[in-house]
Amino acid sequence: MEILTKVADKKGRITLGSKYAKKTFLIEKKKDGTVILKPAEVVPIDEAWLWKNKVAFNKVIEGIEDAQMNRFTEVDIKDYED
């Protein structure tokens, strides 16, 4: 762990350095005034279900792996029509 000392400017900003440019962070504010920055990736809400549903997620991964290995199954489109 590395501990740095930074001074906030008159608008309350602290620079993190170019390594963190264009990155997204979750900001955890504690009651004692401590602020913790956690690097994060944002998932659109309409896609979040997939990350929460391990069965569905694993099926997607399985499908991607099958496609990468050229493992395909022929299907009759009529089986999927109403």
In a domain, 40, yes or no: no
User: What average pLDDT does the segment 6-33 reach?
Assistant: 96
Total number of domains in the chain: 1
DSSP single-letter state for residue 33: S
Q: How far apart are the first and last CA of the chain?
A: 59
In a domain, 41, yes or no: no
- The parent domain of residue 72 ranges over 48-80
CA gap 61, 9 in Å, rounded: 46
Q: What is the pTM of this model?
A: 0.55
**Residue 40 φ then ψ, to 5°:** -145, 160
In a domain, 66, yes or no: yes
Least confident of 29-33, 58-62, 75-79: 75-79
Residue ranges with strand state E in the chain: 24-29, 35-40
In a domain, 60, yes or no: yes
In a domain, 55, yes or no: yes
